[in-house]
Structure 1
Amino acid sequence: MNYEAGIKSEIDDTSTVEFDEGGSVSRLARNKKPLIIGAIILLAAAIGAYFMLSSAPADPNAGQAQAPAVSVVAPGRTTIAGEITATGTLAARREMPVGVVGEGGRVVSVPVEQGSWVQAGQVLAVIDRSVQTQQAQSAAAQIQVAQADANLAQANLDRALQLVERGFVSKADVDRLTATRDAAVARVRVAQASLRELQARNARLNIVAPAAGLVLERNVEPGQTVSGGSQPLFRIAKGGEMEMLARLGEIELSRITAGESAEVTPVGSERSFTGQIWQVAPTINAQDRQGTARIALPYAPELRPGGFATALIKSGTIVAPILPESAIMSDDSESYVYIVGDDNKVARRPIKLGNVTPNGIVIREGLTGQERVVLRAGGFLNEGETVKPVVEKN
Structure 2
Amino acid sequence: MTLAGVSIRLLAATLLTIIAGGTARTQPAAAGAPAVGVVEATRRPITETSEFLGRIEAINRVSVVARVTAFLDKRLFDEGAEIKEGDELYRLERGPFEADLASKQAQVAQLQATLENAKLTTERARTLLGGPAGQQSTYDAAIANQLSLEAQVQAAQAQVQASQINLGYTKINAPIAGKIGRTAVTEGNVVGPSSGVLTTIVSQDPMYVTFPVPLRQGLELRERYGPQGGLDAVVIRLRLPDGRMYGHSGKLNFVDNTIAQSTDTIIVRGEIGNPILRASSAAGVTVHELTDGEFVTVVLEGVQPVEVLAIPRSAVLSDQQGDYVLAVGADNKAEQRRIQLGQSTTTIAAVIAGLEAGDKVIAEGLQRVRPGQTVSPGPASPLILSSMKPAADAPAPQADHGASGSTRLLDRKP
1:160, distance to aligned residue in structure 2 (A)? 3.8
Within 5 A, what are the aligned runs for 1:50-65?
none
1:159-215 superposed Cα distances (whole Å, 9 cap, x missing partner): 44455555334222122122212211221111001111232243345433334x322
1:274 paired with 2:274, answer no
Aligned match of 1:125: 90
Q: Please tell me whether the aligned partners of residues 92 and 241 of structure 1 are also in contact (alpha carbons under 8 angstroms).
A: no
Aligned counterpart in structure 2 of residue 299 of structure 1, from 258, 272, 275? 275
Change (3 A) 1:292 1:309: same
TM-score by length of 1: 0.60
The one-letter amino acid of 1:315's match is: V
Q: Please tell me whether the aligned partners of residues 61 and 201 of structure 2 are also in contact (alpha carbons under 8 angstroms).
A: yes
Within 5 A, what are the aligned runs for 1:232-381?
233-237=199-203, 240-245=205-210, 249-250=217-218, 251-252=220-221, 254-256=223-225, 257-259=230-232, 260-268=234-242, 272-279=246-253, 281=255, 287=263, 292=268, 294-300=270-276, 301-310=288-297, 311=299, 313-327=301-315, 339=325, 353-355=343-345, 360-363=347-350, 368-369=354-355, 375=363
Change (3 A) 1:289 1:170: closer
d(CA) in 2 for partners of 1:99, 1:80 = 51
Larger radius of gyration between Structure 1 and Structure 2: 1
Aligned match of 2:281: none
d(CA) in 2 for partners of 1:270, 1:151 = 77
d(CA) in 2 for partners of 1:142, 1:158 = 25
Tell which has more relative contact order, 1 or 2 (C-alpha 8 A, sep 6+): 2
RMSD: 5.0
1:114, distance to aligned residue in structure 2 (A)? 4.8
d(CA) in 2 for partners of 1:364, 1:115 = 52
d(CA) in 2 for partners of 1:364, 1:291 = 32
TM-score by length of 2: 0.58
d(CA) in 2 for partners of 1:194, 1:364 = 78
1:277, distance to aligned residue in structure 2 (A)? 1.2
Aligned match of 2:179: 215
The one-letter amino acid of 1:234's match is: T
The one-letter amino acid of 1:78's match is: R
1:234-287 superposed Cα distances (whole Å, 9 cap, x missing partner): 23317x222444666433465444345455453448574232314253666662
May I ask how many residue pairs the two structures share in their alignment?
321
Q: Please tell me whether the aligned partners of residues 49 and 301 of structure 2 are also in contact (alpha carbons under 8 angstroms).
A: yes
d(CA) in 1 for partners of 2:342, 2:71 = 60
Q: Percent identity?
A: 16
The one-letter amino acid of 1:235's match is: I
d(CA) in 1 for partners of 2:155, 2:206 = 46
d(CA) in 1 for partners of 2:151, 2:46 = 77
1:319-349 superposed Cα distances (whole Å, 9 cap, x missing partner): 334344545699xxxxx8565699x999998
1:82 paired with 2:72, answer no
